[in-house]
Amino acid sequence: MKFFVDTADIDAIRELNDLGMVDGVTTNPSLILKSGRAIAEVTAEICAMVEGPVSAEVVAEKADDMIAEGRHLAKIAPNVCIKVPLTWDGLKACRVLSDEGHKLNVTLCFSPAQAILAAKAGATFISPFIGRLDDIHLDGMDLIADIREIYDNYGYETEILAASIRSVNHIVDAAKIGADVITAPPSVIKSMANHVLTDKGLAQFNADWAQTGQKIL
Ligand code: E4P
């Protein structure tokens, strides 16, 4: 499973990237706002640090405008992945930009039907939003499973990028279903290391070690 980091926070990306845990990065207009930086500047900095695809999202609503914005974003670095919304115009932009050889991440996917269209429009990644479905009391993980089944039925090469991840369980469940990629905030990725029995076991080892009176160094 590939790990993308869902942030435009350079320091947070660097910490995970230095551990070899970053296969890519996703940003969106809200994350750019949170960074407080210009999209071109922060995207260029992330692209220079990370080898894998770095999603940068268009904000236009009409296909022609999305295409122009996408071409502009793609000039920032060779590993920019153009992110377009799953609207009819977004699918048109996806087809054109994909045919030009760009990587495309089709975002804001909330149904299997939308995911089929994205695959047929040449998307490199489809981003189903798990957390936002859970927020309205639907099961986001069912969507991941449905898309996995459909894509496997037909051999679609579009990768399933499980997005809007809010918990470690989301990541584990997406992995069990066979999502190709997850994108999660750095805090969620780091919290995968936590376990209460690890903490308890370490406390016991430290207490016992203190009683030995020994030192390793
Ligand atoms: C990633 O591509 C998405 O923009 C992101 O995962 C959305 O997450 P959120 O629903 O927590 O904002």
Candidates 121, 6, 140, 17; CA nearest to 66 is 121
The answer, yes or no, to whether any atom of ligand 1 lies below 6 A from the CB of 131, is: yes
Give a yes or no: residue 212 inside a domain. Answer: no
The answer to whether the CB of 38 falls within 8 A of the CB of 27 is: no
Report which of 151, 155, 175 is spatially closest to residue 165, judged by C-alpha positions: 175
Ligand 1 mean position to 132 CA, how many Å?
8
- In a 3-state reduction of DSSP, which class is residue 61? coil
- HSE, CB side, 13 Å, CA atoms: give it for residue 30: 3
What is the pLDDT at residue 111? 98
Find out whether the beta carbon of 26 lies less than 6 Å from any atom of ligand 1: yes
Mean pLDDT of the chain: 98
* 132 within a domain of the structure (yes/no): yes
Report the pLDDT value the prediction gives residue 149, as an integer from 0 to 100.
98
pLDDT of res. 82: 98
Residue 108: the pLDDT is: 98
Q: Which bin fits 178, alpha (ψ -120 to 50), beta or left (φ > 0)?
A: left
2 is catalytic: no
* CA-based radius of gyration for the chain: 20
Contact (Cβ atoms closer than 8 angstroms) between residue 165 and residue 174: yes
Check if 107 has its Cβ closer than 6 Å to any atom of ligand 1.
yes
The whole-number pLDDT of residue 63 equals: 98
Give CA 181 to chain center in angstroms: 7
* pLDDT for position 194: 98
CA dihedral sign of residues 153, 154, 155, 160: negative
**Residue-number span of the structural domain to which 56 is assigned:** 2-192
Residue 85 located in a structural domain: yes
Q: Any residues with CB less than 8 A from the CB of 66 and at least 6 apart, and which? A: 58, 60, 84, 89, 90, 92, 93
Residue 97: which H helix or E strand, with range? Answer: helix 88-99
Overall pTM > 0.75: yes
Q: How far is the CA of 177 from the centre of ligand 1 (A)?
A: 19
130 occurs within a structural domain: yes
Decide if 201 is inside a domain. Answer: no
**For residue range 136-149, what is the model confidence (pLDDT) as tens digits?**
999 999 999 999 99
Q: What is the CATH number of the domain that holds 101?
A: 3.20.20.70
For tokens 């969106």, the residue is 28
- Rounded Cα distance, 195 and 106, in Å: 34
Kindly report, residue by residue over 116-170, the tens digit of the pLDDT: 999 999 999 999 999 999 999 999 999 999 999 999 999 999 999 999 999 999 9
Domains of the chain: total: 1
CA 82, CA 216: separation in Å to the nearest integer?
51
pLDDT of amino acid 101: 98
d(Cα 150, Cα 11) in Å, to the nearest integer?
38
Spatial CA neighbour of 156 closest among 122, 201, 183: 122
* Residue 158 included in any domain: yes
Residue 214 resides in a domain: no
**The pLDDT value given to residue 213:** 98
Q: Which residues pair with 128 in a beta bridge?
A: 109
pLDDT tens per residue, range 13-37: 999 999 999 999 999 999 999 999 9
Q: Are strands 159-162 and 103-109 parallel, antiparallel or unpaired?
A: unpaired
Say if ligand 1 is within 6 A of residue 86 CB. Answer: no
The one catalytic residue in 34, 75, 83, 103 is 83
Tokens representing 32 are: 């750019």
By the 8 A CB rule, do 29 and 58 touch? Answer: no
